[in-house]
Structure 1
Amino acid sequence: MKTSCSLLVVNLIVWFLLLGSGVFSSDYKTFNKLVLPPTATNPRSAAFDRAGEGPYVTVADGRILKWKGPATGFVDFAYTSPNRTKKFCDGTDDLDLGPICGRPVALSFNYKTSDIYITDAFFGLLVVGFNGGLATQLSGGYKYLSGIDVESFTGNVYMTDASLTYDIRNLAQSGFKPDSTGRLLKYDPRTQRVTILLSGLAGVGGPTVSSDRKYVLVPEYVTKKIQRYWLQGPTKDTNDIFMTVFGSPNNVKRAVNDGEFWVAVENQGQGLRVNGSAMILQTVPLTEFFDASVDVVQETNDALYVGSSHTDFVGVYTN
């Protein structure tokens, strides 16, 4: 009897620990699709403006689209290449046409100015105003600029450079292996200078700045770790390991609650909500993405918006 009681206590403790760690989640069980226009694919981003409109998404043929509601759907909003024509580029997913059509990968709003900052795999860092249209290049010459996050208080732009040796076209090649030459960069709009904050990153994903602006989180797909680079405090300009993820973290985004984040785990098809102490608060199985990569999980308006480089829709999970 004593042994049975002891086992019961242990099992209850384990159960509560699992619940507390967010292993189980009864939220976000309802799934809907925001379907892209015909032939448009690979919505790798999902961002919202300061009025809550969107999502704005980047797609494979060089466009940035904006969701205008179920009656209208997605409409053209912006594009990154000055050489792009709708007749030649709309609907293509041929990366060899990227130097002509562009391939915007990620975007982030400066909520003070309503400007959208964009990373493009061929055209580097760009910005476009709230009216959209052709984006202006701010910084180029990269092999594969990928993730981005704007810290609206200072206007600083934090972005990731996937590699010094390969570009986005290499990813689909047989036998491709990512290297460890990824970097975390900062663009200062006041000086228009780019500085290197971290280097030697392996399979670096999309960064995000903490809500208190003390640090930047940077996921590494290959090592399955999330680095933390300190912006303030006694450890300023140093980095440490924030957490190790069971799976490959692709992008990190701020959650609605201050001090919390959503991590898109690509090969597990999950969204992890974590706090500033790297504790997993919630695990959401993204069951409709088990056969596709999960590029981003963005929390807005009591919903999770999921972008993927292998779909023709943005997934929306609600309660």
Structure 2
Amino acid sequence: METSSVLIINLLVWFLLLANVLSFSTFEKLVLPPSVTGPESASFDRGGEGPYVTVADGRILKWKGPSVGFVDFAYTSPNRTKIACDGTNDLKFGPICGRPLALSFNYKTSDLYITDAFFGLLVVGFNGGLATQLSGGYKYLSGIDVESYTGNVYMTDASLTSDSTGRLLKYDPRTQRVTVLLSGLSGGGGPAVSSSRNYVLVPDYINKKIQRYWLQGPKKETTEVFLTDCGSPKTIKRAVNDGEFWVAVEKQVQQQPVLTEPQGLRVNGSAVVLQTVPLTQFSDMTLAVVQESNDALYVGSSYTDFVGVYKN
């Protein structure tokens, strides 16, 4: 009986290891319209439709399936014209065209919140169109996550240099006030609130660590190091499983010349790495996001003309 139990346990461990290796091993591309690049986000609405992506020419696009592709959904600049902006990736046109970077839905209201490098924090309704600016005057507002129960919006603001002036911010839609929760971050990135709403995880890209800021409980308004030695974390997104997250990381595998390996890490609230998915199709690129939806991982980068999809 003991031998049978050991055999069953060994088979179970082998099965779990094999499943981990084979997970998300099939790759396909969702190709953007001609000349369009830079899908730095991949967000889905409460009906599971999408992905919605931000692109370099100032638009938010929505995937409508392989027979249609991506279509216009929203834009951030009131000065934008399709003639001047569609297809451009030149940042000098940013004040005219906008440059949306990250997206997050409030699933209670279906409003889509947007961070834009030039226009700050914006929101647009479920019908799309021109987004409404809520707050501006930032250095480089990048990552965003909406906590749908309260409606609070968590954002990261950082410079484009490797200094330590980055901040975690909270926008309260009831008071329309922005407060600083955490400062001293290095590098831009995207935060994620836990499914329990107890804390928010914040990437510290340059320092190669993730910090946890407590929103509730006995540690409320305190910060602790959540995870280190994971590579450089760019963006964190809630996973499908409650209490878990997907982290887009760039792991240095060679010093001279510098060579990085992009990965998606699935971690739990105890900072245990449950799964590592190599994202080899994004080698030598700046990884922007890993978003789980519909039994797949949707991966974006500021340098591609497609959204990568890794399926089981």
Partner of 2:301: 308
Specify which of 216, 234, 238 is matched with residue 254 of structure 1.
Answer: 238
Partner of 2:46: 50
Question: Between the two proteins, what is the percent identity of the paired residues?
Answer: 78
Is 1:263 the counterpart of 2:256 in the alignment?
no
* Structure 1 Cα separation of the partners of residues 57 and 42 of structure 2: 16
Partner of 2:133: 137
1:164-200 deviations in Å (ceiling 9; x for gaps):
xxxxxxx5xxxxx411000000000000000000011
Matches within 5 A, 1:1-319: 25-163=21-159, 171=160, 177-266=161-250, 267-319=260-312
Indicate conservation of the 8 Å contact 1:46/1:306, yes or no: yes
Aligned residues: 291
Indicate conservation of the 8 Å contact 2:209/2:227, yes or no: yes
Deviation at 1:23, TM superposition (A): 12
Partner of 1:4: none
* Structure 2 Cα separation of the partners of residues 236 and 268 of structure 1: 35
Deviation at 1:24, TM superposition (A): 5.8
* Structure 2 Cα separation of the partners of residues 204 and 260 of structure 1: 22
* Structure 2 Cα separation of the partners of residues 246 and 143 of structure 1: 27
Give the letter aligned to residue 273 of structure 1. Answer: R
Partner of 1:7: none
* SS class of match (2:84): helix
TM-score w.r.t. structure 2 length?
0.90
Indicate conservation of the 8 Å contact 2:56/2:99, yes or no: yes
Indicate conservation of the 8 Å contact 1:251/1:264, yes or no: yes
Give the letter aligned to residue 234 of structure 1. Answer: P
* SS class of match (1:269): strand
* Structure 2 Cα separation of the partners of residues 197 and 78 of structure 1: 29
Aligned Cα RMSD in Å? 1.7
Deviation at 1:26, TM superposition (A): 1.8
Indicate conservation of the 8 Å contact 1:204/1:218, yes or no: no
* SS class of match (1:88): helix
Partner of 1:174: none
Unmatched 5+ residue regions in structure 1? 1-12, 164-170, 172-176
1:30-60 deviations in Å (ceiling 9; x for gaps):
0000000001100000000000000000000
* Structure 1 Cα separation of the partners of residues 178 and 229 of structure 2: 29
Indicate conservation of the 8 Å contact 2:261/2:280, yes or no: no
Partner of 2:7: none
Structure 1 outlier segments of 4+, above 2 Å: 22-25
* SS class of match (1:295): strand
Indicate conservation of the 8 Å contact 1:252/1:261, yes or no: yes
Cα distance change on mapping 1:193 and 1:25 into 2, 3 Å: same
Deviation at 1:287, TM superposition (A): 1.1
Give the letter aligned to residue 292 of structure 1. Answer: M
* SS class of match (2:114): strand
Cα distance change on mapping 1:139 and 1:37 into 2, 3 Å: same
Indicate conservation of the 8 Å contact 1:23/1:283, yes or no: no
Indicate conservation of the 8 Å contact 2:202/2:236, yes or no: yes
Whichever structure has more strand as a proportion of its residues is 2
* Structure 1 Cα separation of the partners of residues 99 and 60 of structure 2: 10
* Structure 2 Cα separation of the partners of residues 263 and 246 of structure 1: 9
